[in-house]
Structure 1
Amino acid sequence: MSSKRIAGPEIERLIQLLAKVPGLGPRSARRAALHLIKKKEQLLGPLAHAMADAVDKVRVCSVCGNVDTSDPCMICSDPRRDDSTIVVVEDVSDLWALERAGVQNARFHVLGGTLSPLDGVGPDDLTIAKLVSRVAAGGVAEVIIAVNATIEGQTTAHYITDQLAGMGVKVTRLAHGVPVGGELDYLDEGTLAAALKSRTAF
C-alpha cells in the first residue's frame, strides 16, 4: 500500500530530513515539522538561520577532533588546560558530556568511533595514529581512555594501550561499576562483576 503525500514537497523534505536525526523517527519528525511550521516566526526562521551559520562556521578541530567554530577549538586553545593529560573519547558527544561534568581540566582526543572488524572499522578509520603522534611529541604524562564499556570499546582501549607501550606515558581507564545512587538489585551482572573486580579500600 503506497503512502499518500499529505503536504507539499518542501514540507515533505523537511520531514524526511528531520527523520534522519538520531532519536526522531518518521512520526516524531512529522510532529516536529508541524510544530516548527506552526511557530514559523519564532522557531523555523531562527532555526534555518542557525543551521546556515553552522554550515558556514562549524569546523572539526585539527588537534583533538572536537567540533567548534574555530580551529583549534576553544578547549585546545585554552592555556589553562593541563597539557600533561589527554582524555580519549569515542565521539564528540562523550567529550561534551565530560566537559559538562567539569571533573577533568585536561586536553581531549576524539577517536571518531571504536574498532569493529565486523563493521569494517579498523585502526586507519580512527584517529589512533594522531593520538600516538600527540604523545610522541612529548609533554604528556597520562592518557585516560574514556571509551564505552562495550566489547568494541574495550578492544579499542587495549589496542591504544599496546600502541602507547614503551612511550613512557601512564595509561588509565575509567572505573566501571556501581553508579552513584544505583541499587544493586537493578544492576546487570556485568556491572556488578566489574564493580567487585575494581573494588577499592574503604
Structure 2
Amino acid sequence: MPTPEQITRHDSFDPPEGQSVWVGNARPRTGIHVVDPDPAWPAAFAALADRIRGALGERALAVEHVGSTSVPGLPAKPIIDIDLIVEDPADEATYVPALEAAGFVLVIREPWWQEHRCFTSDEPKSNLHTFGPDAAEPVRHRMFREWLRAHPEDLALYRDTKLAAAKASNAAGEHVMEYNARKESVIREIYDRAFRAAGLLPTR
C-alpha cells in the first residue's frame, strides 16, 4: 500500500529529458468534446471490465471505474477511464499481449511515474490505466471519485472548470494534455480537501 505522503503528493507527469511517454505513433487527442452525463456509462464500464477480466483472469488484481464518467451528474469526455492493477506493470509480457488480443492498444509507457501504462480501445472508447499494487494514483482516483459523489459543491466547481477548460482548449487548438493542465489547480484544490477530510493532511 502507498504511504499517506505518496498519496497526498501532487507528482509531475513530465518525462525525463530525452524520453517520450508515447508508444509508436500514438499522440494526444485534439478536439476536447465534453458531453452531458450519460446513464449508459456504468454499463459501458461493466462491458469493458468483463473484457479485461476475460483477457487477464486472476492477473487483473483490481478493475475500477474512475474519472468523470464514474461520477453521476458530471459532464465528461465520452471516454471510460479505468484503473487496472496488475502484479508488476514492468513485466509487460504477462499482460500486454492478452490485452492487445482483447482490443486494447498500448499508447503510453511511463516507467518513471509509478510504472504507469495506458491503453486505449474503441466501442466503447476507453483509457485503461495500468498500475501496480503499491501505486498511489489509483488510491487518489478513488478518493477523488468518492469525494465528488458526496460533495455537490465540488462536483459543481469541477463541472464548471471542465467546461471552461474545454472551451478554452478548443479555441486554442490544444490537445487533451493541455486541457488537463488547465484543470490542474482546481483538481489539486479538491484533492487536498478530500485528503484533509480523510486525515491524510493537517487541517488548516
TM-score bin, normalised by smaller chain: under 0.3
TM-score, L = length of structure 2: 0.23
TM-score, L = length of structure 1: 0.23
Using CA pairs below 8 Å that are at least 6 residues apart, which structure has the higher relative contact order? 2
Higher Rg of the two aligned structures? 1
